Homo-oligomer: A and B are copies of this chain.
Amino acid sequence: MLNNIPKELSPELVKCLMEMGHGDEILLADGNYPALTNNDRVIRADGLGVPTLLEGILKLMPLDTYSDYQAILMETVEGDPRPDIWDTYKKDIGDAFPKYNIKTIERQNFYKYSKGCFAIIQTGETALYGNLILKKGVVVPKD
Contacts and interface: CB of A to CB of B under 8 A. Distances in A.
A61 interface: yes
B24 A18 contact: no
B46 A10 contact: yes
A88 interface: no
A41 to B, nearest CB: 9
Number of copies of this kind of chain in the complex: 10
A36 interface: yes
B118 A7 contact: no
B61 A2 contact: yes
A126 B140 CA distance: 7
A4 B6 CA distance: 11
Interface of A: 1-24, 31-37, 44-48, 52, 59-62, 118, 124, 126, 138-141, 143
